[in-house]
Amino acid sequence: MRIIIGFLVIATLGLWGLKIYYLDLGSAPETTAFQIDIEGMRALVKDDKGNLPIRINAVLVGSSEVPSTMVVAGTGFDERRMVRVAYQIVYGSRYVLIDAGADEALDQKVGMGGTFYAEGYEQIQRALDRAAAVLFTHEHWDHTAGVARAPNLERIYAKIHFTKAQLENKTELAIAEFPAGFLDRFTPIEYEGLHRFASGMVLLGAAGHTPGSQMIYVRLSDGAEYLFVGDIVWHTDGIRLLRGRPRAISRLLLGEEEDVVLQQVRALHNLSDAYSDVEVVVSHDGDQFDELTGSGRFGSRFE
| Predicted pLDDT at 251 | 84
3-state secondary structure of 226: strand
| Predicted pLDDT at 20 | 41
Residue 203: enclosing H or E segment and its boundaries? Answer: strand 201-205
| Predicted pLDDT at 18 | 38
Distance, in Å, from the CA atom of 219 to the CA atom of 197, rounded to the nearest integer, reads 12
| Predicted pLDDT at 3 | 42
Residue 133's φ and ψ, nearest 5 degrees, are -160, 155
Residue 249's φ and ψ, nearest 5 degrees, are -90, -50
Q: Which domains does the chain have, with CATH numbers?
A: 2-299 (3.60.15.10)
Q: What are the per-10-residue average pLDDT scores of the chain (303 residues)?
A: 38 38 70 97 96 98 94 93 97 96 90 89 97 98 96 93 96 93 94 97 98 98 98 98 92 91 98 97 98 98 97
| Predicted pLDDT at 23 | 56
3-state secondary structure of 23: helix
Radius of gyration of the chain from Cα atoms?
Answer: 20
C-alpha separations of 215 from 65, 75, 104, 207 in Å: 26, 26, 27, 10
